[in-house]
Amino acid sequence: MSALDISRSFARRLCLVAILLTQISLSSFAQKSAADGVPSSASKAVAYPAAKKVEQVDDYHGTKVADPYRWLEDLDTADTKAWVEAQNRLTDAYLAEIPARQKIKERLTKLWNFERYGIPYREGNRYFYTKNDGLQNQSVLYTVASLADTPRVLLDPNKLSTDGTVALAGTAVSRDGKLMAYGLSASGSDWSEWKVRDIETGQDLPDTIKWVKFSGASWTADGRGFFYSRYDEPKAGASQMSGVNEFQKLYYHRLGTPQADDPLIYERKDQKDWGFSGDVTEDGRYLVITVWVGTDAKNRVYYKDLQAADAPVVKLLDDFDAAYNFIDNDGAVFWFTTDQNAPRYKVIAIDTRKPERANWKTVIPEAAETIEGANVVNNLFVVSYLKDAHSQVKIHQLDGKFVREVALPGLGSTSGFSGKRTDKETFYAYSSFTTPFPIYRYDLVTGKSTIFRQPKVDFNPNDYETRQVFFNSKDGTRVPMFITHKKGLKLDGTNPTLLYGYGGFNVSETPYFSVSRLVWMEMGGVFAMANLRGGGEYGKDWHEAGMKLKKQNVFDDFIAAAEWLIANKYTSTPKLAVQGGSNGGLLIGAVITQRPDLFGAAIPAVGVMDMLRFNKFTIGAAWASDYGSPDNPDEFKALYAYSPLHNLKAAKHYPPTMITTADHDDRVWPGHSFKFAAAMQAAQAGSAPVLIRIETKAGHGAGKPTSKIIEEYADIWGFLVRTLNMNAPAS
């Protein structure tokens, strides 16, 4: 899910403390380690690979800022490659000394080996869904005429590479269910190459679409082609990996023609940061163009009449004043969810024949809960809400009248509920921290849910409990947090605890099942997830309270969550680890530089660590909508004040830290983690290790093979078993 999402609508389609009441010295836990099978070398100082410093100083609005590790931004130099190899050797050697690591890997492998399904959807007279037998590196796409029939393999990504690093990046099936456009991504890259498959024969057509990024595909009703968005091919000598992504364009591909002949539907030569998502309405009449700028929730909406020859692109919503997420249309009337004058969203209707705001109609008004999304199925609105960061789903008539609430199994998260206007059924997945994604079929006529597929994982969910608590942040804001652990937990301050957070880009963190977290809890660990400002849990206001000049609120919320866990004796500093990825990696980098005394270990993953140069690589410039820009004097001051790289202090005691990144991460450039690791190793006082784990043939996280995920979490949990002095898992 993950991470720094570029287009909110695209992301939805596809599918991150000062008072210690319990003082326990690190040395006392080091003495205990021998009984837990932890080597005594855990407290020895680490000899880090040499990292040269260069004379690089930049001037930001009169402030001189040194950047001695600038050379680590270039992944292709001999110096960087040698440094990466040396760091991986150091990390591998450190992890190899942890006896518990192999047991953890074995337990992860055993638990991961369960059959799991994706949510079915229907096109034409066929169903489509993914399935993973358990340890397959990539899920396999199946099709079936009837849910009672034997499914047929339509696409198996596992056969496209020997190591499982080629992943399915997206699919789009034509209206008649005869053809499928699909994207493939290699080694975790955001770049994808699209092809077209004949569903009946399983054979690919000659069509190939390249240089696609942050885009799906949408077929015209006649099945003769599809719309997609792409960037220009990088110029000779330019880096495909690190090059800045600018001037996305929207095209139409007609089957049987070369990509070079694809007609350009829309571009903006005057707006390098604008991106476009083209979706054909269910009735086939219109192309709805969502115009996004960076990661901002606000967007524009244009449309084109596909039934009128040479119809122009009409600017329906062009003020960039709010979020407008297209749901469906009833002829010329378009339905949207929007936060325009409704911070927690509402559903509105706009008649494109008289689109003036005075004519807009509110169909479903804003509620106390936050609307996450809506679909029209069986001529009903199926609306997904968030109530204190857990799911609610409600059914409304097309005039907005409430029909019923969908009964869910408990405190968890749902996804799915897609379909057509005439469908009588829809499918959804439900998950909680201890419920592993059962798939339900929902009958929209009777309102009944029945199990379509029930995963079976080798654990007893009744052995665990989840509660939601609320704590006050530094400024008094009330913030929710989920806490999950084995039943019978003693609140004595000695429990190993993992606190996770994200806090940005309007992303909501909700309960979901994770094999890796289950293993953590089996080892006696407590898992806590704080719903920080900057996310979307409480709508627009909650998001904006953690943006730009207010970003420090996010870090204050997370620090307050840690303080609450300690004050309520769930844990103590030597037993408290913190984790986050992408924007959450920035979170972890910021809090350990602001409060290094508070945490016992840190796992920042694929993090944005250099807040003065994030806009220099790949899609980084798009994040200015959430972070602000270093080119703006006031925003520079805020960025510089919390930038993890620039707030490390020499000879400071930082908690044991394992930074993780990947060599093909073209979302958050690996140079962020490289520079932060080199600087933190140089600054570290004492014996607490600062390691960096650099995955090969992997990216920001999407499409990562199961085998690599298991290896990574065996390393992470092994690191925490050693640094937090935990018990190894049972054999």
Determine what percent of the chain is predicted with pLDDT higher than 70.
Answer: 92
> Quick one: pLDDT at residue 697?
67
pLDDT in tens, 350-391: 999 999 999 999 999 999 999 999 999 999 999 999 999 999
The CA distance from 362 to 242, in Å, is: 44
Q: Is the dihedral of CA 696, 701, 706, 708 positive or negative?
A: positive
Task: Give the helix/strand (H/E) hosting 675.
Answer: helix 671-683
Q: Which residues of the chain have pLDDT under 70?
A: 1-44, 237-242, 697-699, 701-702, 729-731
Q: 583-594 and 552-567 helices cross at what angle (nearest 10)? A: 70
Residue 703: how many other CB atoms lie within 10 Å:
24
The CA distance from 360 to 72, in Å, is: 53
Q: Are strands 390-397 and 140-144 parallel, antiparallel or unpaired?
A: unpaired
Q: Which of 403, 445, 454 is nearest to 425 (CA)?
A: 445
Residue 118 backbone dihedrals phi, psi, to 5 degrees: -90, 170
> Quick one: pLDDT at residue 294?
83
Q: Which of 306, 315, 300, 303 is nearest to 283 (CA)?
A: 306
pTM for the whole structure: 0.90
The CA distance from 655 to 686, in Å, is: 10
> Could you list the active site residues?
582, 700
Q: How many CA atoms lie within 13 A of 271 on its CB side?
A: 13
> Quick one: pLDDT at residue 410?
87
Contacts of 689 by beta carbon, 8 Å cutoff, 6+ apart:
46, 94, 656, 657, 658, 723
pLDDT in tens, 419-453: 999 999 999 999 999 999 999 999 999 999 999 99
Task: Give the helix/strand (H/E) hosting 107.
Answer: helix 100-112
The CA distance from 544 to 118, in Å, is: 33
pLDDT in tens, 617-642: 988 998 999 999 999 999 999 999 99
